[in-house]
Amino acid sequence: MCGIVGYIGNRDGADIVLAGLKALEYRGYDSAGIALLDKKGTAHLFKQVGRVDGVEKLLLADDPGDAPAAIGHTRWATHGGPSVLNAHPHANSDESIFVVHNGIIENYAELKEWLIKEGAQFVSDTDTEVMAHLIDHYYKQSKSFEEAFTKALKEVRGAYAIVAMTTHEPGKLFAARLSSPMVIGVGKDECIVASDPSAILQHTKKVIYVQDNEMVIVEAGKCTITDLMHDKKVLRETETLDFDINQADLGDYPHFMLKEIYEAPQTIRLASLGRVNADTNTVKLGGLESVTTQLSHVDRIVIVACGTSYYAGLVGEYLLEEIAGIPVEVQLASEFKYRDEPFCRSTALLAISQSGETADTIAALKKVEDYGVLRLGIVNAVGSTIARMTDAGVYCHAGPEQAVASTKAFIAQVMVLTQIALNLAKEGHALYKPMLAEIEALPAKAEAVLKQADTIKAIAEKYKNYRDFLFIGRRYAYPVALEGALKLKEVSYIHAEGYAAGEMKHGPLAMIDENFPTFALAGDGPLLEKTISNMQEIRARKGKIVAVTTEGTKAVAQHADDAIYIPATLEQTEPILQAIVMQLFSYYVATAKGYNVDRPRNLAKSVTVE
């Protein structure tokens, strides 16, 4: 969601912070701002509703000169609507203290009431401004900014990544985190603080990940970490980011979403590289080797995730139950943490998150900290919070995903879940060898789907003006239908619902008429005839149908208005190819309607608050 970038060093911090904020634009935001301390220690503040470019224009017009210290922020509105006053950074009354913040301060209302009585003058509707005045209150008492910052942190409740800058100590940034990501890039005589590694990659790959309940004093080329829970200093070595910055470039594509859809074949390869070998009939997952013994005693898996990751988990439920023979249930992480349910040590909790920073999924993992259960993770972001919280896990290796609507991350997650199912099944299942061979064949089949982009684009143009859409599928295709409906909603703002095809008679048929088209996933599997029956029910009510079916399957097209063909594959690997079709369809509908597919309204890439 919101993005943070801070700089301290011997270069112009404004340039570095603004470039970092632009690198975080994919997360989604509605306003932006930057605060600078120039070489004389004088403060300058620039805020703007809209894009980072607007802040840059304000700064160029004012020309404050080089600033060795700077903090910036892209805001996604929570407390108070998008406005210049609500944009970060926030300051105390005399603008000697500046704060940027991701997360939510839950007790801000009571703190604000108290601070107003103490003489603080608030100008925004945000919870964040409380922090600036709170630090100021304690600084006036002690004249120690470190002490004031620490006391303020102990007063607030909620989730936060906070960076503060002050004219009292212009050579330092003060940072802290609790349940919201923060990383510090360490360079030669400079440091960059950010909420996401992509903001610092062009400057350094040496990073320090800040942990929960830690406060960091950041200076040029070094940082001092304090564990606030135990009031002691922490020594932590830098890590090297395994991240190719060139992957984050748009290249010749008009949008990141299209670029990332076209990366599907490579995504499949990278998710399987060094793990799947059909010649030796092996699936090797190094990230799970340390818990092999514990996995052998697992008799139940609970998958927790949100959004697209949740739908990937539903595909994983079918895979794990059919291939590994382990009972699985998939729960929305936002609901799981509030449920009271029995857990035993033979249960494993599997968290799925593209960013590894999803607040609800992190909370789900924290819920079972004392249960003694095995905690596993599937994440894309190396070194992320979930990657570090879990006992073991498997990385997706999908590379950066810039578009807000997830595409290749879904494909990578399903691939990893397929491999986990095969790994747990060993060679004891009839599908084991065929699936290993099919995984190696999938990249070429994904490329074949992408070659039909023009056909899919033409169909999308045909349906772009409908207000409603239904997506249906059976078995493995059911969660893919849910994901297809989500994609269309996310980028085109068309109302769409995903349904199990067998449920049509139990309500959804009431909606069907000539203005309510259906996207039917009708692969050549064991339930094809039943899916065709559902399509006939829709056609009988004048509903239009776009069908996704298997090459060579003739029975489907005669019951559809439009048909899209995918290469023949196993039912268990079909979701990958079906997903690419629906991603392209959603993309082309949205672009035909003139929408910004990379930055859908009201959405953010990484949901780091509840």
- Active-site annotation, residues: 2, 605
* Cβ-proximal residues to 69 (8 Å cutoff; 6+ apart), any chain: 7, 8, 13, 36, 37, 165, 170, 171, 173
Under 8 Å between Cβ of 341 and 313: no
208: exposed, middle or buried (C-beta count within 10 Å: 0-12, 13-18, 19+)? buried
Strand ranges for 475-552 from DSSP E = 495-500, 518-522, 545-550
Place of tokens 């919201």: 180
Distance of CA 516 to the CA centre of its chain: 31
Contacts 24+ apart (CB under 8 A), 504-507: 504/472, 504/534, 504/537, 504/538, 505/537
Cα distance between residue 353 and residue 370, in whole Å: 22
* Cβ-proximal residues to 478 (8 Å cutoff; 6+ apart), any chain: 314, 498, 500, 501
Under 8 Å between Cβ of 196 and 161: no
Helices (H) and strands (E) in the chain, counts: 18, 27
**Cis before 254 (ω within 30):** no
Under 8 Å between Cβ of 53 and 38: no
Angle at 303 between CA 298 and CA 305, to 5 degrees: 155
Q: Which two tokens stand for residue 444?
A: 């070429």
Using the CB atoms, write b or e for 513-548: b if 16+ within 10 Å: eeebbbbbbbbbbebbeebbebbebbbeeebbbbbb
Using DSSP, state whether 273 is helix, strand or coil.
coil
Q: What is the widest separation between alpha-carbon atoms in the chain?
A: 80
Phi, psi torsion values for 216, nearest 5 degrees: -125, 130
Phi, psi torsion values for 207, nearest 5 degrees: -135, 160
Strand partners, 209: 183
210 secondary structure, DSSP code: P
Radius of gyration from C-alpha coordinates of the chain: 25
Cα distance between residue 519 and residue 532, in whole Å: 12
Cα distance between residue 203 and residue 197, in whole Å: 11
